[in-house]
């Protein structure tokens, strides 16, 4: 078995820490971030590169860099809508957002279905697009990070997420109980524009101990998300 394959089958650090390391991590988070300033929008983020079948990963030294695939454990998935008045707003909270795709909070807020910004062709300079973007947010444990990373999937990959979740049901497996590799394949829309479409591949099941830690991390992730709702 190659070293690359062995490495790819290792669980993320957040699932393999000792109990003492886990307590130290939670204590550090409580002390450093107990003021509630940390929300989903301040977590590390990975997104699909425009016009490419590549992921854009945030790097402290190099900024955003493209990678062909990402690998980790998805501990939580939720629907999302986000509205930014300008493009390339960066990693800042949107002007209006929704965690369920039904009710928006912010400006303008209210019922997403009735909002003009959620209608097709409402995006300035884009055909057949919504100003308020619909997406899926995957919260993944990746590599040596002890915090979840937010992976944003655009509308073009929404069906792939639902297909993956159904496939997990046929395997009698919860999606947070396996290591997943997310890659992208090239596709084109009706306007001939190239984009990356998500592909899910299961690397392996988690062990019983790893799965228990994954469930704990899902609760931790939900607690972070709840901070945004309380603001």
Of these ranges, 107-116, 117-126, 170-179, the one predicted with the greatest mean pLDDT is 170-179
> What's the pLDDT score for residue 184?
94
> In sequence order, what are the beta bridge partners of 195?
187
- Using a CB cutoff of 8 Å and minimum separation of 24, what contacts does 156-160 make? 156/187, 156/189, 156/195, 156/197, 157/48, 157/197, 157/198, 158/134, 160/197, 160/198, 160/199, 160/200
**Rg of the chain over all Cα atoms, to the nearest angstrom:** 18
Residue scoring higher pLDDT (180 or 38): 180
Distance CA 168, CA 175 (A): 6
> What's the pLDDT score for residue 89?
64
Distance CA 165, CA 151 (A): 16
Q: List the one residue out of 111, 112, 123 whose CA is nearest residue 81.
A: 112
Phi, psi of 76 (to 5 degrees): -160, 145
Decide if pLDDT at 200 tops 50.
Answer: yes
What's the chain's length in residues? Answer: 231
Residue 194 has a CB neighbour count (10 Å cut-off) of 12
Cα angle, residue 67 at apex, residues 65 and 68 outer, rounded to 5°:
160
H-state helical runs in the chain: 3-8, 13-16, 19-33, 158-170, 208-230
Q: How confident is the model at residue 135 (pLDDT cuts 50, 70, 90)?
A: confident
């Amino acid at each position: 078995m190659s070293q690359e394959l062995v490495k790819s089958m290792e669980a993320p650090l957040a699932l393999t820490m000792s109990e003492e390391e886990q307590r130290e991590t939670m204590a550090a988070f409580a002390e450093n971030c107990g003021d509630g300033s940390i929300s989903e929008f301040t977590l590390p983020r990975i997104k699909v590169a425009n016009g490419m079948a590549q992921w854009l990963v945030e790097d402290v030294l190099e900024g955003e860099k493209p990678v062909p695939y990402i690998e980790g454990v998805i501990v939580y998935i939720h629907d999302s809508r986000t509205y930014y008045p300008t493009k390339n707003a960066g990693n800042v909270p949107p002007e209006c957002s929704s965690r369920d795709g039904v009710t928006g909070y912010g400006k303008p807020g209210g019922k997403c279905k009735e909002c003009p910004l959620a209608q097709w062709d409402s995006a300035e300079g884009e055909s057949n697009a919504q100003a308020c973007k619909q997406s899926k947010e995957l919260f993944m444990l990746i590599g040596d990070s002890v915090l979840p990373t937010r992976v944003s999937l655009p509308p073009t990959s929404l069906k792939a997420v639902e297909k993956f979740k159904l496939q997990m049901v046929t395997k009698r497996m919860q999606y947070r109980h396996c290591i997943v590799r997310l890659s992208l394949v090239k596709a084109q829309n009706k306007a001939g524009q190239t984009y990356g479409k998500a592909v899910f591949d299961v690397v392996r099941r988690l062990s019983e101990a790893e799965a228990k830690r994954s469930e704990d991390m899902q609760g931790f992730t939900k607690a972070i998300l709840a901070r945004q709702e309380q603001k």
